[in-house]
Structures are given as structure tokens and as C-alpha cells.
Amino acid sequence: MPFNVRNGNSSTTISDSSIDHLARPDTPHDISVWEKIKSFFSCKYKPEALECIRTMCHPPAGTTREDVADRFEQLRRFAHTGFAENIQSGRHGENNFSILDENSHEMLSVNLDDAGIYTVECQGHSETHNLTPDTRLCEEHRTLATSIPPPETVRTAVDYDAVWSAWANPVPGEECSSRNQALQKMRDCLNNGNPALDLSHYQLTSLPDHLPPNITTLNVTSNQLFILPTLPSGLLSLTADENQLASLPTLPSTLQSLIVNRNKLYRLPMLPSGLERFDAEHNHLTSLPMLPSGLLSLAVSENQLTYLPTLPSTLQSLIVNRNKLSSLPMLPSGLERFDAEHNHLTSLPALPSGLGALTVRFNRLTSLPTLPSGLLSLTASDNQLTSLPMLPSGLLSLAVSKNQLTYLPTLPATLQSLAADSNQLTSLPALPSTLQSLTAEFNQLTSLPALPSTLQSLAADSNQLTSLPVLPSALQSLSADSNQLTSLPDLSPGLLTLFVSCNQLIRLPELPPGLEKLAANENQLTSLPMLPSGLKWFTARHNQLTSLPALPSRLERFDAEHNQLTSLPALPSEL
């Protein structure tokens, strides 16, 4: 029984005699390993897991490098979540596969190197085999390959239908119906030349071995697939989000778009040279392969990446949120969007001149590099910034909350949104006339600059404000809790929300007719103005109220505890 390992383009074998010692039926190594790791697996998967162990210790004829990798990936899928990391690829190099016991001691190690050396180490026992090409078998394989055309050139519609029908019919339960629907779609692709096959949301547990050879687009999102079959050679787009994939098959050289978010991928195959879009978010990747030179978009958030490979010069969008990155490679000159929030970054490389959006929240940055002149959006909240560089003249959105800023630079005339809460600011610079949203809570502000007429939302809670400037007519939301306000200016006619609790207010001004929410707890109010008819939410706890005005009929929440009330007006039916 020969043992085949593909090495480059040649097939190499182990003869029966060379593997006989390891493969004897009475060899106890597989059972010894199994006894120490069988608790890794649920009862449901123990038979399959044991068979994988036996196959690793006693490899059958035709075993290839890919077969060994796939068996380790199968074991990971069979293992309980807490033990999957004990089944490792690349522990001692990229061609090494290992199983560790509960104490992280290596129980089984399989190594295949490029020189054709195959080694199994198990419980102190080691078998090493020099693999030499079997010239006779290689010649036979070449002869066979030239005498039989590729499957897609000899398979008729009848052949495909027979394969698909066999796949669809013997499955019990609800999946039988799903497979039959998938069967009809595959027939349509084959018989009518439809290039797009959409098998999404069928909860399929497998796909047939042969897919329609003419398809260029395949969508298998939201199924329960553990593996994918060989993919059609002309495929341009593969979308396989929300499955259980731990590995991918060899990818067609024609592929341009690969989307495999929300799977269980631990490793990736070589990426096709023509790939332009690659999304693999929410997986278990610890590294990425070499990236294609023409890649335009890369999204690999929610993985366990500690570094990134060299980025192609063509890259326009890079999204690497929620990884373990502590540094970054040089960013491509054409990059337009860069998201790297929730990492361990302490600094950023030089930013490309064409960058339009930068998001680096939740890192450990103490400073930012020079910002590109065309930057439109900067999100750098939850860092350790003590100052900001000069802001680009066309910036639209600036979010620098939860840093250690004591001042802000001059704000661009185009700015529409500013979030600078939870810093150490004692003042704000002049606000641009285009500003629509201002968040400056939890600072040390004693006053605010003039508010632009375009402002729609103002949040200035937990400062030291004793007064507010004139409120713009466009303002819809005002929150100024926990300050030292003794009075309020005239309220904007379109105001919908007013939160002014924990101040020193004696009275409230006339309330706008469209007001929906009012919170004025913990003040010194002795009376209230007429409440708007559309008010839905009203709280005035801990004041000195002796009476209340009529309550609006739409009121859904009402709280006036800890006042000096002796009676209540009629209560609305909605309460």
C-alpha cells in the first residue's frame, strides 16, 4: 500500500515496507493519543475524531499534504470550543501539524517538508521516511492524465443530473426540501446557461462534488457548510458568509471577489493573482497569505491577526478592526479608507495623501501623524492623545472622545460633526458655521463659544457651565445635565429633547410646541410653564414644585417624586 504526498508537481510515495512498522494493526500510538484527548470531543463526534487520529497514524494510500491539513481542520471542527486551540497547524513551521493534551504537552506531531521527508512523532516514538519519486507511478499518472480529458469536457447534462440527484435525495428532514430546491437551481444554470448560482439561506450541510461548470458567480451564504467542493474553473465571485468553514479549497485563478465572513477559518489557501476584493471578517485567522498585487479592498476585522503582510500598491480600502495588531506596514499611496479600531497600536505609519476616512478608535495612540489634506472623516476616540495635528481644511467629521486633550486646534470651516467628550478641555475654539452636531460632555468647560445657526444637536453634560449662549433655531436636541446653570436662554422653536437635570434652575422658559422629552430633575424649580401637547416623557424629581400644570394626553412617562405636591392633575390614559 503506497503513501502518496504531492511535492511540487510530482507524486512521491512510501512503499508498503517503509510504513509497515507504523501501520501495523497492533500499533498502540493512535489509541494512546486518543485516551488522552477523547474528552476534547462530544459523544456525537467521537467516532469521526477517532477515525481522524487513526488515519494520521496509519495514512492510507494516496494521502497528500492537503489531506493531512484537512484532517487537522476536521479535528478542530469536531472539538469543543475550548480545546480547538490544542489542535494546531504551523507549531514548528508551516508544514507541521500537532495535537496537544490538556496540559499543552505535544501528543502527536506530523511534519511534511519540501524535501519529501515525512515524520510522525507520537508518545516518544518517531518514524521518518525519505520520500523519493516513484518514476513508474508518475509516468502512469501522466499517461492517465493525457488520455482522459478534464471532467467538465466529458460530463453531459445527464451525468450532472445523476450526481446532483444522488446528493439531493437520501437526506431526511427539512434539508431534503432545501436540496431539491438547490437541485432545480443547478439544473437551471446548466440547461439555460445561467452564470449565477444562488444557494444562500438553505441551511445546506454539504454541496455536491460537481457544481455547474459554467457558473461565474456562486453564493452559499447562511448555510451549515463545513467544506466546499472543487470550484468551477471560471468562477469570478464566491460569497460564502455565515457557514462553518474551517478551510477553503484551491481557489480558481479567475476569481475576482472572495467573501467568507463569519466562518471558522484558521488558514487560507493561496489567493488568486487577479483577486480584487477579499472579505474574511469574523474568523480565526492568525495570519494572511501574500496578497495579490491588484487587490483593491481587504476586510479582515474580528480575527486574531498580530501583523499584516506587505500591502499591494493598488489597495483602496483596508478594514482590520478588532485584531491584535501592534504595528502596521507601510500604507499604499492610493488608500482611501483605513479602519483599525480595537487593536494594540501605539503609533501609525505615514498616512497616504488620498486618504478620505481614518478610524483608529480603541488603540493606544499617544499622537497622530500629519493628516492628509483631503481627509474627510477622522475617528480617534478612546486613545491616549494629548494633542492633535493641524486639521485638514475639508474635514467633515471629527471624533476624539475619551483622550487626554487639553485643547483643540482650529476647526475647519467645513466641519459638520465634532465629538470631543471625556477629555480635559477648558474651552472650545470658534465653531464653524457648518457644524450640525457638538458633543462636549465630561470636560472642564466654563462657557461655550457662539453656536452656529446650523447646529441641530448639543451635548454639554458634566461641565462647569453657568450659562448657555443663544440657541440656534435649528437645534433639536439639548443636553446640559450636571452643570451650574441658573437659567436657560429662549429655547429653539424646533426643540424635541431638553435634558437639564442636576443644575440650579429656578424656572424654565416657555417650552417649544413640539417638545417630546423633558428632564429637569434635581433643580430648584417652584413652578413649571405649560407643557406642550405632544410631550411623551417628563421627569422633574427632586425640585420644590407645589403644583403641576395640565399633563398632556400623550404622556407615556411621568415622574415628579420628591417635591411638595399636595395634589395631581388628571392623569393621561397612556400612563
pLDDT tens-digit map of 388-425: 999 999 999 999 999 999 999 999 999 999 999 999 99
**Residue 370, pLDDT score:** 98
pLDDT band for position 118 (cuts 50, 70, 90)? low
Residue 85 is given by DSSP the state: G
Q: Give yes or no for residue 136 having a pLDDT over 50.
A: no
Q: Is the Cβ–Cβ distance between 304 and 323 less than 8 Å?
A: yes
Q: Give yes or no for residue 21 having a pLDDT over 50.
A: no
Q: How far, in Å, CA of 236 to CA of 194, rounded?
A: 14
Could you tell me which residues come within 8 angstroms of residue 429 by beta carbon, excluding any fewer than 6 positions away? Answer: 408, 409, 410, 411, 449
The mean of the pLDDT values for the chain is 87
**Residue 146, pLDDT score:** 37
- Match 480603541 to its residue by C-alpha cell: 362
CA dist 18 → 118, 122, 541 (Å): 11, 17, 86
Q: Is the Cβ–Cβ distance between 363 and 340 less than 8 Å?
A: yes
- Match 457638538 to its residue by C-alpha cell: 438
**Residue 116, pLDDT score:** 58
In the three-class reduction of DSSP (H, G, I as helix; E, B as strand; rest coil), residue 127 is classed as strand
Q: Is the Cβ–Cβ distance between 183 and 164 less than 8 Å?
A: yes
Q: Give yes or no for residue 16 having a pLDDT over 70.
A: no
Q: How far, in Å, CA of 103 to CA of 59, rounded?
A: 27
Choose between 71 and 561: higher pLDDT.
Answer: 561
CATH class of residue range 3-146 = alpha beta
pLDDT band for position 310 (cuts 50, 70, 90)? very high
Map out the domains of the chain as residue ranges. Answer: 3-146
Q: Give yes or no for residue 17 having a pLDDT over 70.
A: no
**Residue 137, pLDDT score:** 33
Alpha helix ranges (H) inside 96-226 = 135-147, 151-154, 157-168, 174-192
Flag whether the pTM goes above 0.95.
no
pLDDT band for position 131 (cuts 50, 70, 90)? very low
Q: Give yes or no for residue 525 having a pLDDT over 80.
A: yes
Q: How far, in Å, CA of 546 to CA of 530, rounded?
A: 15
**Which of 401, 402, 373 minimizes the C-alpha distance to 389?**
373
Could you tell me which residues come within 8 angstroms of residue 439 by beta carbon, excluding any fewer than 6 positions away? Answer: 401, 418, 419, 420, 421, 457, 459
Work out the percent of the chain whose per-residue pLDDT is above 90.
68
